[in-house]
Amino acid sequence: MNFFVYLLLFFLILLLVILAVISCIAKLFSNSPGLVRPNNNQLSKENHQNHALFRHLPHLIPQIAWRELGTYPTPIHRGSVCIESSRQRAQYYVKREDLSSTLYGGNKVRTLQHQLATLEARATTRDPAACHRIIALGSGGSNQCVASVVHSVSCRAAESNMSPVTVAWVSEDQPDLGKTKLENHSFIISLSK
């Protein structure tokens, strides 16, 4: 019986060690920019009324760094299509997040308004947690990487010491050989009219 108690203790300690290692690794991968107070430039130059969060909770304005990188709300377009089998028209709606910015639109802009502003605020105030190197990690064709680089330029131009964003591509973009270029882009072309 004594042997089984020691064996059980050994496995419990081993399990605790494994959980501690997993926790440390998860913490490294989930390291986000966090939240910091905005710098003076962000407070004075941004129109916080253009952000729904700050319109409804104005006491958060001096608490959360933010840069206005997009124009919101984005429009909703209505369309219709004829269903051949029933000869009826079906309506659909498209939320046009691609129009959120003239630089590079899409849904990534909303989160970058806070993420890049946080990095900018840390760099401006010489926060020890400021990043000396900012890396956007993604696979080929990553909209997050492209949007991070494009929109970081406006944050860096706002009198801060923010580092430029470097892209680290995990894998190359593989072409879809089953479709022609025209088929791949037909949806984008139809929305851009």
Whether 51 maps to a domain, the answer reads: yes
Q: Which tens digit of pLDDT belongs to each residue from 50-62? A: 998 999 999 999 9
Number of domains in the chain: 1
Q: What is the pTM of this model?
A: 0.67
Is residue 9, in this structure, part of any structural domain at all? Answer: no
CB of 47 closer than 8 Å to CB of 68 = yes
Per residue in 4-14, pLDDT (tens digit) is 888 888 888 98
Domain membership flag for residue 60: yes
Is 163 part of a structural domain of the chain? yes
Q: Is residue 49 part of a domain?
A: yes
Whether 127 maps to a domain, the answer reads yes
Q: Is residue 152 domain-resident?
A: yes
82-141 pLDDT, tens per residue?
A: 888 888 899 999 999 999 999 999 989 998 999 899 888 888 877 666 667 788 888 877
Query: Letter for the amino acid at 62?
Result: P
User: Sign of the CA dihedral 183, 185, 191, 193?
Assistant: negative
Domain that holds residue 158: 32-71+109-173
Q: Which amino acid is at 77?
A: H
